[in-house]
Amino acid sequence: MHKAATPSSPHRSRWKALLWPLLLAEIGFTLVCLGAGALIWQASDRRESENALARLQASHSVYARQLDARLTAQQQHLVMLARGSGRILQSMAEDTSTSHTASPVLPSVLSHDDTERLLTRLLDDYDGMDALVTRLFVLPMGMRDFSVPEPLDNIDNDLPPYQRERVSDDAENVTWWTGAQAPSGRLVATHDVVWNERYLARVGMEISLPRLKRLIRDETGNAGEHWLVDDTGNALMRDDAPRVLPEAAGRYGMQWLDEGRRALIWDTLPGTGWRLVSRLSLPDDSAWQKALPWLSIGLILGNVLIFAGFVSVLYWRLQREEDAWQAGLGRLAGWLPRTQDDAPDITAVSPATLNTLVTRLEPQLGARTSNDSWDMLAWLKTLQLPALLTEGDVIVTLNPTLSRLLGERPEALRDILLAEWLKPRLVDEQRRRVRVTDAGGGAREYRLECLAVLGEHSIWALIDQTETGETLHRLRLARDQAREDARLKTGYLSHLRQELESCVNTLTALPEVDASHRPPQWEALRRRLEDAMLLLDTLAEEKPASDSPPSDTPPRVLVVDDGPVNTLLACSVLERQGCHVETATNGEEALALAERQSFDLVFMDIYMPTLDGMETSRRWRRLERRLARRHASVLVALTANVTQASREAFMQAGMDDCLAKPYRPGDLVAMVRRWVGEGDTSET
């Protein structure tokens, strides 16, 4: 009895066989997805950082321009206040009691009291012109100080620099006083009033630093840290950061900080020469959050597809094995005796069915194995070739086909050595060719082949060689006949071309006729005759043998011609030279092909409907410039009118060369050699 296998064991073994490849594929795909995701994230993060930094720089430049405009407006107001104060002081009566230098000639218009009243009113008018300005003052010579609002404490002795008299002849510009030269929490801007080289007064304003800081925070959205830095790089609004810019900082710039995604950005205010410096943080990294869902979806879908693919392969293999299993069972069932009525149903594949079949076949299989030649003998009788069975070197029997061929019984050659039977009939020992005389007295050549070997028994077949030789002889005769027919056809075509050439010459020799009186069929007839001559040249021309192997990258050639004969001639010639040829019947089709691919060489017919060759060439060149092609196509004009003027017109249209029609195949080959120099251009 045979041990029955478990029904699920083949399936389990298949699953185990595919488990490791499945796991390796899943792990490999996961690693590839993670690597691709990391690369995509790095590229996206770098791009996002660059874009965010560019946006921060642009916003910072806008804030700097707004702050500069605000400070410039204050300087302009200060200049206007200085001009008003100067006009009032110039009109004041000169005080000779306090004058110690030569006084200019001033009109005695205003008194001392009127001057003080006008200066006070002028300061009141300019007071409150901007929220940043906390105090306006005028320090005239020989008069009391004017201030709006009035200071809380009067400094009599140690005056700050911006309240002292002018001691030099500097240009009358707005001067900013910062740091220790200005009050705490203030920026002071002053302007000297000078008339006829005489110092009259100093006009100034105080700007609140806390308000200026609040203004910068409001403008920048209260993000990051901000400083105003003077020309030397020292901070104006923070005492704890005396220097925030790098040593070689220019007027504008940016520097990454060590803290990570933070940058130091600065812009120069043209009005004051100061620089607005900001320490800003880039927005939170969202590239990974954006890519993570898509990466997860791709990873899940990829793993599902891989699993489905492996399941499909497993199912296909199991189905194929099940079909083979059914076929094997069918063959086993065929060995059973036909008379048995209780034969098992082989459609239900199960270990019990297999066990029943093997049990019933065991006696017959044991009887068959005792005589191995029995199966070979049965197979020998079914062969349609002349064959014989040998045991060792001795002939056992002949099959019916060989018996009929020799006209002898199958047992006539029993116990005769095969070498002795072949010796008088052997023609070529190396090729095992023998000559056998049949029952009718005819002789045929056969090749001896061993078809099967089982133990000491062998089956030898005789394969007829006469029919093979006759077939080869017929093929050679057919080849010679075809060569003779080709030679005759070539002669006929050459003769026909001579006749057509005579007709064309006769037609060309006719006297010139005015184009208006020339029949419309005249030019068409001449072109058709020339096309027929070109076609005959192609048909009569023998295909040359190539001396060099074809190029790995054949030249791409486009033939643009509305004449079918010319197109057929060009395609046949160029394809024989190893070129990849495409055709177009008008300029629109040629430009459409040029949009999709590039060509090394283009043969362009000049006279075409709708869009002629000249305009097509101009548009072709514009298309190449628009597509930024690395290599421009070589444009060759095809025309029957080749003059110096026409050549110049072709060159101006963007063409490189021209070929006169009608042309011979050798002219096309020469043009390809001249401009491309690739492909199998061996034609002469």
Q: Mean pLDDT, to the nearest integer, of 570-591?
A: 90
CA distance 277 to 254: 10
Per-residue pLDDT at 338: 46
Residue spans of alpha helices (H) in 5-98: 9-90
Which range has highest mean pLDDT (150-164, 239-253, 271-285, 411-425)? Answer: 411-425
Question: How many other CB atoms sit within 10 Å of the CB of residue 117?
Answer: 13
Q: Mean pLDDT, to the nearest integer, of 332-357?
A: 57
Topology match between the domains 65-94+107-151+171-281 and 373-464: yes
Per-residue pLDDT band for 369 (boundaries 50, 70, 90) equals: very low
Which residues lie closer than 8 Å to 170 by C-beta, 6 or more apart? 192
What strands lie across the sheet with 457-464, from one edge to the other? 394-398, 387-391, 457-464, 443-454, 433-437, 426-428
**Does the reported pTM lie above 0.85?**
no
Closest CA to 32 of 303, 402, 260, 217: 303
> How confident is the model over 258-273, as pLDDT tens digits?
666 788 888 888 888 8
Per-residue pLDDT at 680: 44
Tell whether the model's pLDDT for residue 222 goes beyond 80: no
Per-residue pLDDT band for 333 (boundaries 50, 70, 90) equals: low
> How confident is the model over 226-254, as pLDDT tens digits?
888 877 777 777 655 556 777 777 788 88
Per-residue pLDDT band for 676 (boundaries 50, 70, 90) equals: confident
Strands 657-660 and 634-639: parallel
> How confident is the model over 17-41, as pLDDT tens digits?
667 777 788 788 788 877 877 777 7
Per-residue pLDDT at 614: 92
Per-residue pLDDT at 261: 74
Per-residue pLDDT at 182: 79
The domain locations on the chain are 65-94+107-151+171-281, 373-464, 549-675
Tell whether the model's pLDDT for residue 213 goes beyond 80: yes
> How confident is the model over 543-562, as pLDDT tens digits?
443 434 445 678 999 999 98
Q: Which CATH superfamily is domain 549-675 in?
A: Response regulator (3.40.50.2300)
Q: Which residues are 139's β-sheet partners?
A: 202
Per-residue tokens: 318: 């199991």
What is the CATH class of 373-464? Answer: alpha beta
Q: Which residues are 610's β-sheet partners?
A: none
CATH number for 65-94+107-151+171-281: choose from 2.120.10.30, 3.30.450.20, 4.10.93.10, 3.10.180.10: 3.30.450.20
CA atoms within 13 A on the CB side of 681: 19
Instruction: Name the phi and psi angles at 607, rounded to 5.
Output: -95, 100
Tell whether the model's pLDDT for residue 6 goes beyond 70: no
CA atoms within 13 A on the CB side of 55: 9
Which range has highest mean pLDDT (52-66, 146-160, 313-327, 361-375)? Answer: 52-66
Per-residue pLDDT band for 594 (boundaries 50, 70, 90) equals: very high
Out of 54-68, 236-250, 434-448, pick the least confident. Answer: 236-250
Tell whether the model's pLDDT for residue 540 goes beyond 70: no
